[in-house]
Amino acid sequence: MTNATITGWGNCLPPTVVTNDQLAELIDTSDEWISTRTGIKERRLCHVKTSDMAHIAAERALAAAGVDASEIDLIILATCTGDTLIPNTVSRVQEKLGAFNAAAMDINTACSGFLYGLTMARAQIETGLVKKVLIIGAEKLTAYMNWKYRKTAVIFGDGSGAVVLEATEEDHGILATAIGNDSKGADFLQLPGFGTDMDRFKEGAGALTIVMDGQEVFKRAVAGMSQKSKKVLTDSGLSKDDIDLIIPHQANLRIIDAVVKRLGADPAKTFINIHKYGNTSAASIPIALAEAVEEGRIKPGSRILLTAFGAGLSVAAVALKWGDRVTPISTTDKDLPPCNQSFDELIAPALEYYEKHFKEE
């Protein structure tokens, strides 16, 4: 039987760090409030494009897999903050990689996007349609950030991560996947007025603000991630004790704790990096996955549970068995260009615009 297994991993975090204390200088919040409610201490702010971050994470994943870009059959870019809609953002990534033998598509299921991508890629590989897929999660959420709106400005950050998924006849790879979407909750997390909804001739139309009913999202995230996690455990014939590592979407430390508790799993088996990056949406799980390998948390044959929740409201879980290799075949020195602006300089145009156009209701 053909399995789909991860052979390469990589991530890319932009260099500008934004601490809770820096945000507390802009809005009425505090390091104490943000840390205790979310687990976030700092996040990253990207000075280049989403496609640039996606490209570097992908180069690192290809190097780790020892795969040349020309061998890739399909590239899936999960993002809700692409550079442009036409062309799609993955087209820019394909060009930067030189992966010209690949089909390529963007998908947007927000924070569940990377796991949706893994699910689609697995199906393509197991049915023999393709052999090597690059799946990338990349987000520049700060591009939509209203730095004057404390309910969401403290939550999100930028970054990217990628994996190479390959066909194998060996006994490892993706064991089970479960995806879903609860559109009855679509209004609980949204960026209103973007896309063709935008009244772009109205003054201030660019004062976009991510709005969220935090408590509704919280409840539904815990229920949805727990339910899909249980499903993939059942479908793969694993018990919670068989799982060596849980890598949940890093949205809120309290959500993660509640999901792990509902599963009855050992909290020590959970991978956490939300304190460093905040919620990076579709990039969150591949960023964490690459860190988990690098930190030795993933061992040959590790059984891993991934689960995510996001706008839509989308939900996903994946159970997998890692292969034999936990070291990269190769590395690359490709990186983002350096950033020569401070945080204050980077956000100055946005701050000025929101101060002029945004009125909190």
Ligand X SMILES: CC(C)(COP(=O)(O)OP(=O)(O)OC[C@H]1O[C@@H](n2cnc3c(N)ncnc32)[C@H](O)[C@@H]1OP(=O)(O)O)[C@@H](O)C(=O)NCCC(=O)NCCS
Closer by beta carbon to ligand X, 119 or else 302 = 119
**Smallest gap from residue 147 Cβ to ligand X (A):** 12
* DSSP 3-state of 267: helix
Beta bridge partners of 12: 160
By the rule CB under 6 A, 150 interacts with ligand X: yes
By the rule CB under 6 A, 146 interacts with ligand X: no
Q: Can you tell me which of 5, 16, 38, 89 binds ligand X, judged by CB under 6 A? A: 38
**Smallest gap from residue 31 Cβ to ligand X (A):** 10
Query: Which residues in the 271-290 window bind ligand X by CB under 6 A?
Result: 279
Do residues 309 and 258 lie in contact, with contact meaning Cβ atoms separated by under 8 Å? no
By the rule CB under 6 A, 217 interacts with ligand X: yes
Annotated active-site residue 249? The verdict is yes
Q: Can you tell me which of 127, 183, 196, 215 binds ligand X, judged by CB under 6 A? A: 215
How big is the chain, counted in residues? 361
Q: DSSP secondary structure string, 38-78? A: H---EEEE-SS-HHHHHHHHHHHHHHHHT--GGG-SEEEEE
Would the CA dihedral through 333, 339, 343, 349 be positive or negative? negative
Active-site annotation holder among 111, 146, 172, 181: 111
C-alpha–C-alpha distance, residues 33 and 157, integer Å: 17
Q: Can you tell me which of 214, 227, 269, 332 binds ligand X, judged by CB under 6 A? A: 214
Do residues 137 and 283 lie in contact, with contact meaning Cβ atoms separated by under 8 Å? yes
Closer by beta carbon to ligand X, 54 or else 251 = 251
**Smallest gap from residue 220 Cβ to ligand X (A):** 9
By the rule CB under 6 A, 228 interacts with ligand X: no
Q: Can you tell me which of 22, 26, 35, 37 binds ligand X, judged by CB under 6 A? A: 37
Closer by beta carbon to ligand X, 9 or else 309 = 309
Residue facing ligand X at closest CB distance: 214
Do residues 75 and 62 lie in contact, with contact meaning Cβ atoms separated by under 8 Å? no
Q: Can you tell me which of 96, 151, 262, 325 binds ligand X, judged by CB under 6 A? A: 151
C-alpha–C-alpha distance, residues 337 and 142, integer Å: 18
Q: Can you tell me which of 3, 11, 16, 29 binds ligand X, judged by CB under 6 A? A: 29
153: nearest Cα among 36, 295, 2, 45: 45
Annotated active-site residue 339? The verdict is no
Annotated active-site residue 279? The verdict is yes
Do residues 185 and 212 lie in contact, with contact meaning Cβ atoms separated by under 8 Å? no
Q: Can you tell me which of 159, 224, 310, 312 binds ligand X, judged by CB under 6 A? A: 310
Do residues 152 and 211 lie in contact, with contact meaning Cβ atoms separated by under 8 Å? yes
**Smallest gap from residue 154 Cβ to ligand X (A):** 4
29: nearest Cα among 208, 158, 152: 152
C-alpha–C-alpha distance, residues 173 and 320, integer Å: 5
Query: Which residues in the 154-213 window bind ligand X by CB under 6 A?
Result: 154, 212
Site size with ligand X, rule: CB under 6 A:
20
By the rule CB under 6 A, 252 interacts with ligand X: yes
DSSP E strand boundaries for 3-49: 3-12, 16-19, 42-45
| Count of other CB atoms within 10 angstroms of residue 298 | 22
Do residues 55 and 336 lie in contact, with contact meaning Cβ atoms separated by under 8 Å? no
Given the rule CB under 6 A, which residues bind ligand X?
29, 33, 37-38, 111, 150-151, 154, 212, 214-215, 217-218, 221, 251-252, 255, 279, 309-310
List the catalytic residues.
111, 249, 279
